Structures are given as C-alpha cells and as structure tokens.
Amino acid sequence: MNIDTIKVELIDLITQLDDQQAIKKLLTFKKKFSAPEIKPDSKVYGLRKHLVKFISDDFNEPLDIFKGYEK
C-alpha cells in the first residue's frame, strides 16, 4: 500500500465519521503510522549514542564573543 492510497483512504474515512466502524479504522491507521511516544520520565539508554562526534580540548575555556561581558 503506497502513501497516496493511504491518504485517499484516510480522507474517505474522515468524511464518514458518523460511522463507528470508520472511526475505529481511522484510529487503527493513526496507531499504525504514528511514531511511538517516549514518556518524558522514562529513560532510554543509548538513545543519544554517537551524537557527540568531537569535543575540543578547550571546551571549558571562555569564548571570545563573551569577552565584553566578563568582569
């Protein structure tokens, strides 16, 4: 089933929202094609693995653009 067929079928289901069976099909499509939710309080270990590629040796050094704000 390609994306255009799914879109047309979804539009047909939306126009028939008074039908309870169509609503159930619409919710099934939503569940099938939506991304899984990650709860904010749950930790997924390894999710950000390899996100940071390089950290400079002078990471903690002050930046030149903030020199005017230093005391």
Is residue 51 within 8 A of residue 42, CB to CB? The reply is: no
| 5 band by pLDDT with thresholds 50, 70 and 90 | confident
Residues in CB range of 29: below 8 A, 6 or more apart: 6, 9, 10, 13
- 20-51 pLDDT, tens digit each: 787 787 778 778 877 676 667 667 778 778 88
Task: Write the pLDDT tens digit of every residue in 50-69.
Answer: 888 888 888 888 888 988 88
pTM of the prediction? 0.31
Whole-number Å distance between alpha carbons of 8 and 55: 48
